[in-house]
Amino acid sequence: MIEPGVRAPAFTLPDQDEAPVSLGDFAGRRLVIAFYPNDFSSVCTDQLSLYQEVLGEIESRGTALVGISVDPPASHRDFRVQLNLGFPLLSDFDPRGEVSRAYGAYLEERGHTNRSLVLVGEDGTVSWSHVSPPLEVPGANLIFDALAIQRDLSQGHEPPRIE
């Protein structure tokens, strides 16, 4: 998985409507990238539904959210409608997994992404990343904790020690 402190790999991927979305579109804002294995799986449905529930709070903290999987745009469109999602789903379909590989989120043996989160800071640097076990939903609390730590660091405060 990509490590904090490195420049986030640039990307341009089609969203659910086949419109190009680039990392540069989020310059000056924080971005949470939620990598997930597949549209319509039960765990992915739970994961993205949870993020939709807290989307307003994420956005109120000056942060955007996108989902990325290797499903094609048409699948993303249907999945997004089914879940009534208010954030874009980006297709890493062609070439399959190229962006996910760049972020260390692609599982070669399975042919899809892992379930992980990456926080890209306003300056385009990875601030935080997290990989979840295969069937475990990375909770929204992880996102909010990462945003709080990044806020504290940007204000010159030391991060809390986790022992």
Active-site residues: which are they? 44
* CA distances from residue 1 to 44, 72, 103, 152, 156 in whole angstroms, order as listed: 19, 23, 6, 23, 26
CB of 45 closer than 8 Å to CB of 83: yes
Q: Is 155 exposed, middle or buried (0-12, 13-18, 19+ CB in 10 A)?
A: exposed
